[in-house]
Amino acid sequence: MSERSQRRYIDLLEVADDARFNSFHGLVLAWCALIIIFDGYDLAVSGIALPSMMKDMNVDATRAGMMVSSALFGAMCGAVLLGSLADRIGRRRAIALCVSLFSLFTAMAGLASDPLAFGIARFIAGIGIGGVMPAVVAQMTEYSPRKLRTTLVTVMFSGYSVGGMIAAVFGKGLIGTYGWQAVFYAAAAPVLVVPWILKYLPESIGYLVKHNRKKELSQLCAKLDSTYVFHHDDEFVIGEHRSGGALLRTLFSDGRGMSTIMFWIVFFMCLFMVYALSSWLAKLMATAGYSLGSALTFVLILNIGGIFGAIGGGMLADRMSIRGVLVFMFAMAGTSIALLGFKSSTPVLYFLLFVAGASTIGTQIVVYAYAGQYYPMTIRSTGIGVGSGVGRIGAISAPVILGAVVGMQLPLHQNFLLMAIPAAIAMIAVAFIDRSDGTPSIRAADLEQEGVQACNAG
């Protein structure tokens, strides 16, 4: 807070940075995590239902891969379209709109009787899936105390794995009795929560400041800082250092060109592995002779590993050499995925699935943190945002490429070897990132502070 001409200027983002964790932060975390769980369910549900869908619709693996990718392509579009919409209508309304979109249209996908109708419904659902993620990340980041920011955002992100676990549990309980459509119908439930989102989820600080809604801003300030007392001449502002971006060409200036390309490769390969596993694991295991129930148990364990990897990866990235952590996690990912294709005892198979989930889903966070350390503050948002966009291409292409490979009816281990190759490529790419250009004094906790706009951009 500062005094200018007897008027107090209060930067609410600074107030949020310096705040101590309290019940208000817990409320924001609970809402954001719940929304991410909904989002994670909708992302995972196609992979859960894929074996039954392929049989019921009589589609081959290549076409099935395109069906799964329709939602991911929609997610890429939604991240761009709805991110800018949030600036105009408010983040709370944008989040509610996204939840409504992916809930209703995922349920409508269950009504589809052919691949085209399914793909259209999932594409529209994907717009909501992709749009809600950057909005929720920005929301959690905006209200988190600086010292806890990485931890809170990481805990929130683990909701994706929880959503995947719920999808696997529902799949085991519903598909055998009611058909694959049932898990899609269940996705409509989150729309019932939309009125509560509109009522209880706080609005974004930037939107409230832009529209000079002093009453709500003063209430927020009091929730963030219990010592705050409202004065009628208070002016709420956002520090200039929080905004702005950089041109794409700055990512290639000052000798950063090679490293920027290497980061793009790492982002691409990381998300390729995540979505290859989430889309095709159940089908591959069913093809290998496991029952559908067993195959869905494997998906459940994969996502349990993802929770530990997401939280553990964020903690490691905040405390150790991120470069070393990243190399180790990619090594674990490649090894565990490759070994999944070979006959193992049940305990060993469960362990490999746990490690694969931890070292692919968790690695995403480490990649973001490493990019945040490398790029200077003035171009960090651009570097992370563009890298994330390239990663989405990997997410979209993974189900299609794996679908074509599965359609070739190769031995099981060759399918998993293909999924493991991106880990080796990513390790090599990490080795070619020039450490001398980065800003190693910047820790992962600063990543989200400067990267919110990148998430909103795509």
3-state per-residue secondary structure call for the chain: CEEECCEEEEEHHHHHHHCCCCHHHHHHHHHHHHHHHHHHHHHHHHHHHHHHHHHHHCCCHHHHHHHHHHHHHHHHHHHHHHHHHHHHHCHHHHHHHHHHHHHHHHHHHCCCCCHHHHHHHHHHHHHHHHHHHHHHHHHHHHHCCHHHHHHHHHHHHCHHHHHHHHHHHHHHHHHHHHCCHHHHHHHHHHHHHHHHHHHHCCCCHHHHHHCCCHHHHHHHHHHHCCCCCCCCCCEEECCHHHCCCCCHHHHHCCCCHHHHHHHHHHHHHHHHHHHHHHHHHHHHHHHCCCCHHHHHHHHHHHHHHHHHHHHHHHHHHHHCCHHHHHHHHHHHHHHHHHHCCCCCCHHHHHHHHHHHHHHHHHHHHHHHHHHHHHCCHHHHHHHHHHHHHHHHHHHHHHHHHHHHHHHCCCCHHHHHHHHHHHHHHHHHHHHCCCHHHCCCCCCHHHHHHHHHHHHHHC
At 79, the amino acid letter reads A
Q: Which of 243, 268, 286 is the last residue of a domain?
A: 243
Q: What is the mean pLDDT of residues 354-358?
A: 95
Of 214-218, 274-278, 441-445, which has the strongest mean pLDDT?
274-278
> Is residue 56 domain-shared with residue 23, that is, in the same domain?
yes
Q: What is the mean pLDDT of residues 269-293?
A: 87
Confidence class for position 346, pLDDT limits 50, 70, 90: confident
> Is residue 258 domain-shared with residue 340, that is, in the same domain?
yes
Confidence class for position 247, pLDDT limits 50, 70, 90: low
> Is residue 181 domain-shared with residue 329, that is, in the same domain?
no
> Is residue 83 domain-shared with residue 39, that is, in the same domain?
yes
Residue 436 has a pLDDT of 56
Residue 99 has a pLDDT of 96
Q: Is pLDDT of 437 > 50?
A: no
Q: What is the mean pLDDT of residues 444-458?
A: 40
> Is residue 212 domain-shared with residue 311, that is, in the same domain?
no
Lowest mean pLDDT of 103-107, 158-162, 350-354, name the range. 158-162
Q: What is the mean pLDDT of residues 331-350?
A: 92
Q: Is pLDDT of 433 > 60?
A: yes
* Arithmetic mean of pLDDT over the chain: 83
Residue 444 has a pLDDT of 39
344: left (phi over 0), alpha (psi -120 to 50) or beta: beta
Q: Is pLDDT of 438 > 60?
A: no
Number of structural domains, the chain?
2
Residue 448 has a pLDDT of 40
Q: Which of 243, 275, 297 is the last residue of a domain?
A: 243
Confidence class for position 230, pLDDT limits 50, 70, 90: low
> Is residue 400 domain-shared with residue 365, that is, in the same domain?
yes
Q: Is pLDDT of 443 > 50?
A: no
> Is residue 374 domain-shared with residue 231, that is, in the same domain?
no
Residue 93 has a pLDDT of 92
Tokens, residue 62: 């290549």
**Do the strands 7-11 and 2-4 form a parallel or antiparallel pair, or are they unpaired?**
antiparallel
Q: Is pLDDT of 441 > 60?
A: no
Residue 446 has a pLDDT of 43
- Percent of all residues in the chain with a pLDDT value above 90, rounded to a whole number: 34
> Is residue 85 domain-shared with residue 221, that is, in the same domain?
yes
> Is residue 152 domain-shared with residue 191, that is, in the same domain?
yes
At 305, the amino acid letter reads G
Residue 82 has a pLDDT of 72
Q: Which domain holds residue 291?
A: 245-458
Lowest mean pLDDT of 37-41, 94-98, 224-228, name the range. 224-228
Place of tokens 């709420």: 236
- Percent of all residues in the chain with a pLDDT value above 70, rounded to a whole number: 86
Residue 27 has a pLDDT of 92
Confidence class for position 450, pLDDT limits 50, 70, 90: very low
Q: Which of 213, 243, 273 is the last residue of a domain?
A: 243
- Residue range 308-340, pLDDT digits in tens: 888 888 778 777 777 888 999 999 999 999 999
Q: Is pLDDT of 80 > 60?
A: yes
CB atoms within 10 A of CB 325: 22
- Residue range 259-273, pLDDT digits in tens: 999 999 999 999 999
Of 105-109, 237-241, 345-349, 436-440, which has the strongest mean pLDDT?
105-109
CA–CA dist 401, 424 (Å, integer): 18
Strand partners, 28: none
CATH code of the domain containing 423: 1.20.1250.20
Confidence class for position 213, pLDDT limits 50, 70, 90: confident
Residue 241 has a pLDDT of 43
> Is residue 398 domain-shared with residue 281, that is, in the same domain?
yes
- Give the sign of the dihedral formed by CA 83, CA 86, CA 91, CA 94: negative
Q: What is the mean pLDDT of residues 427-447?
A: 61
> Is residue 67 domain-shared with residue 172, that is, in the same domain?
yes
Residue 12 has a pLDDT of 75
Q: What is the mean pLDDT of residues 401-427?
A: 91
> Is residue 9 domain-shared with residue 152, that is, in the same domain?
yes
Residue 243 has a pLDDT of 43
Confidence class for position 378, pLDDT limits 50, 70, 90: low
